[in-house]
Structure formats: C-alpha cells, structure tokens
Amino acid sequence: VLGDADLETVLPLAPAYRSDPYLRTRRFIAAPLLVGDRAIGVVVADNKRSRRPILPARIEPFVLLCQQLATALEAARLYAESRTRGREAIRLSTGLALLNRASRALHRTLDVEPMLDAALRELGRAFGAAGVLLSLAPDAGRPARSISHWLSEAHGRDVTLRPTASVSRLVRDTGKPLVLSDIAERSDIVHPAHFRHGVKSLAAFPILGQRQRVLGVLFLYYTTTQVFPEREVQLLTAYADQLATALENARLYAETRTQETRLTQIFDSTSDGIMLVAGARRIEAANQRVADLLGFDREAGLGREVSELLAGCRASAADAARIVEALGSLSAAPDEADGDLELGPLTRILHWVARPTKNASGVTVGFTLSFRDVTQEREISRMKSEFVSFVTHQLRTPLTGIRWMLELAAAQPDLPAEPASYVQDARDSAARLIGLVNDLLDVSRLERGKLVAVPQEVRLEALTRHVLDEMSVLLQEKGHRLSIDVDGDEKLPPIMADP
C-alpha cells in the first residue's frame, strides 16, 4: 500500500499528465494473484475519485478478493485447458480409429484410388482440416497425379505445380514432415494461392515406401491457425505410413497381375499341353492345349487328382500308372522323367515329361507335366522303319545271288589275271554293298529296339584304314587327301566293338 510518504519517493508526473484524471491518484494498493506459490498476475486498486487514504482495515478484504479472483482465473484456465485436451483426446481417438479403419480397408482392397478418396475426406473431418491433398510422384511409367479435396474449386484451380521451391519439393527432398502454424513463416515455398484462399496453417507428410523412396506427399490445409501437438504429428505420420503401404501393395499387385497376364498368354499359346500339379497330385492349373489333348473340361479338371483325370481320358492304365509313379519318384529325385501315354479308342500317343517344381529353399512343392502329341511322328517313324526293313530285305536277295555268282567266277582255274582282278574288285564291292544293307537293317532294328550288339575284338588302326580305303574314291573326287599315321600297332590295344 502506497501512502503519502511512499509517494514522496516517486518521481513527480510530467506537467502534461497532471491534468489527466486517471493519473491524479495519490493512493494505490497492489496485491498478487497467487495460486500456491505461483503468481499468475497482479491486481492494482486506487482512489482516483475520492483521493481518500486507504485504510488498513480494507487491505485484508482486498487481499481475500484477490485470492478468490486468482482461484477463479485458475479454474477458468484449467477448464479451458481441459476443454482443449478433451478436444485433442477426441481428435486423437478419432484419428486412431480412422487409422485402424484405414489400415483394415487398405489390406482388404487393392483398388486404391476410390479408397484413398474416401479416406482423405474422412481424414480431413477427423483432424479439422478444411482441405486435404495427396500428391503422388510418377511411378512405373505413370505420370504424377493427385487426389484432392480443396477448400473450393477455385482453390484447386489456382494451386498449380511449382517445379522449383515448394513445400512438396522440400518434403520430398528431406523425407520429413513439415508443419506450419503460420504459413507466412515460409512464404518463400508456400504457394501464393493458399494466402488468397484463406489458408492459415498447413501440415505436409512424406509418403515413404520401401528403401525410403518418396511415393508422394500428404497435405492438410487449415483456415484457422493451428497448433500441432507432437502426438497429432506422430498420428498423421503413422497414417502416411499406412498410405505408403497401400500404394506399395497396389503397385506390387499391378506388377503381379501384369506378370500373371503375360505368363497366362505364354501358358495358353504354347503348342505343348502343360499341367501344374501340386504336391498332393492335384491339378492346380492347366492350359487349353492339354485339355484338348486329353479331352477334359479345363475348369472342371482343376482340383482333381492326376490319376482320376487320366482314368477318365481313356488313357492306357499302364501308361497312367507310370506317370503317377514318376511323380512319386520325383519328390525325392531331382531329375525329370518322361514316357509315352497311349489314348483310346482311337490310338493317339502323347509324349509326356514330368519335372519337379521347387520353392526358394529347394523343396519340391509340385510338378510340371507337359504333353506333346507324337502320334504322327511315331507313325512316320514306323513307316520309315518298315520301308527300310523292306528295301534292305529286297536288296539282300539279289546281292546274295551276285555274290555267289562272283564267287563261282573267281573259282575258275583258267581265268586270266586281268579278268580275275576285275572279278575280285566286283567281289569286294558286293561285300561292301551287303555290309551297307546289313547296316540299314541294324538301323531299322535299332529304331524298333530289337538290335542285339555282338562285341568282339577289333584292331582300331585296321578298322580305320578299312574305312579310309572305302572313302578313297570320294576323297579323290573332291581333291582331298587324308592320311593316318600310327606309330607302332602295339600302342593301340584292341577294343571291344561290334564292327
């Protein structure tokens, strides 16, 4: 409390202020507003009008009044703070619920465009934003695009891409969120259209994919000045991460669908029938060609066992059993297996090849069965073998007669030397011709699987010289020279062969 004695120590007012009624007082009382040990303000009273002294008896009621005023102010502050925290708690709980719903929605669908549009609208309502924008970077040949809910259509039209300094560029480059309670703080990067349309605050969050690759930027625009609590920033960052997961899943799904389409086209365009079999011998996939070859409905065949399907295709029971047996053996053995499958009632022959399908760990998880129609090939091969067999048998009969006639001519005692040499050359040629016919018969037997080899000791150098002698005429016609040099017959031991 300031009295007359105290006022004597105060510098006098300047003459210009002495006539002001609010500065005429000579009596003051000032008391602190205390909440515990903390002063939240000061109350000052004076007696400008009466200019009477302030009595000591009035000081205590004034102090009690100040205490009540401090209590009321503190209660009002706490109430306002609780209201603010309540709103923050509601926003955070709403945001968490929104994040949870978004997470479930993002994992239920891969058609992200409609889902993102609805999610951004709900995000703006949950966090009180007047506008929301998701700006996506170019990816896999797709141009840059955006999903937006602007403050107005005019706002969306006025906000154009800024290739140089911008909030989007800064967030992409740093990979960190940017929150501006007052966009005027960064007028160098904030688009001028935001100022014209009443944006006061904004928040921008990077959408980070794998290996910290920036997929886009999430923006929230506010028409009132906002304070961004740390928990709210963390929640919005988590929401941006969920958006990144959705975009990555959609990209991987699109790539998978593209690869699946390409593989399906290759699968269906191949001339061979292909069947993918699971480890349980059930058919997982089959192209149209194998359905045509085996005569079953492609869609109806999926999920059936291989043995059941082959039995319904009028396949030879023995051949079908070999296929099933081969699939069983391939589970342990890494090699492939093959064979022929005969179909009735019209005889058709399919050549099949079975290969194991392994996962990344090298474990057999299924099999690939390919079928090729070799009916015509087998028929041509059979006809060729029969023709060769027929021709060679027909050639052997006259050649045998020629040989015996030459033997008889060579046995004549009075045959002159020159005719004798001619007869000998003819005998040798006939022998070679008979040998060629026998070789053709051997080829025919070999193709039918009926050739029996008779190994015997053969001198390799003698066999080689014999072959060269037979080729000498051809070599001379071509003007070639071919020689053989063996340094001692003992260095080449006899071999076992069927000459």
- Tokens coding 235: 């929640």
Which pLDDT belongs to residue 319?
78
Strand-pair category, 283-286 with 495-497: unpaired
Cβ distance 134 to 218 under 8 Å? yes
Cβ distance 444 to 385 under 8 Å? yes
Kindly report, as residue ranges, where domains of CATH 3.30.450.40 are found in the chain: 4-80, 109-256
Question: What is the signed CA dihedral for 265, 267, 273, 275, rounded to 10 degrees?
Answer: -140
Q: How confident is the model at residue 89 (pLDDT cuts 50, 70, 90)?
A: low
Which of the pair, 103 or 29, is modelled with greater confidence?
29
Cα diameter, the chain:
182
Which pLDDT belongs to residue 108?
59
Kindly report, as residue ranges, where domains of CATH 3.30.450.20 are found in the chain: 270-373
CA–CA dist 379, 376 (Å, integer) = 5
Which pLDDT belongs to residue 91?
66
Percent of the chain at pLDDT > 70 equals 84
Residue 110: is its pLDDT beyond 60? no
Q: Please name the residues in contact with 242: beta carbons below 8 A apart, sequence gap of 6 or more.
A: 99, 102, 103, 106
In terms of Cα–Cα distance, which of 327, 321, 336 is closest to 366? 327
Which pLDDT belongs to residue 111?
62
> Distance of alpha carbon 116 from its chain centroid, rounded?
22
* Three-state SS at 247: helix
Q: What's the CATH class of domain 4-80?
A: alpha beta
Q: Name residue, tokens 């050549």.
A: 351
CA–CA dist 335, 365 (Å, integer) = 15
Kindly report, as residue ranges, where domains of CATH 1.10.287 are found in the chain: 379-497
Strand-pair category, 131-136 with 145-149: antiparallel
Cβ distance 437 to 399 under 8 Å? yes
pLDDT tens track for 197-223: 999 999 999 999 888 888 899 999 999
pLDDT tens track for 341-386: 888 766 788 888 888 888 877 788 888 889 988 888 888 877 877 7
Residue 24: is its pLDDT beyond 70? no
Fold of the CATH domain 379-497: Helix Hairpins (1.10.287)
Whole-model pTM: value is 0.49
Residue 269: is its pLDDT beyond 80? yes
Most confident of 139-153, 186-200, 284-298: 186-200
Q: What's the CATH class of domain 109-256?
A: alpha beta
Cβ distance 312 to 296 under 8 Å? yes
Which of the pair, 399 or 314, is modelled with greater confidence?
399
Residue 102: is its pLDDT beyond 70? no
Buried b (16+ CB within 10 A) or exposed e, 442-478: bbbeeeeeeeeeeeeeeeebeeeeeeeeeeeeeeeee
* Average pLDDT of the residues of the chain: 81
**Four-way CATH pick for 270-373: 3.30.70.3270, 3.40.50.300, 2.30.30.90, 3.30.450.20:** 3.30.450.20
Which pLDDT belongs to residue 131?
93
Average pLDDT over every residue of 175-200: 92
Residue 46: is its pLDDT beyond 70? yes
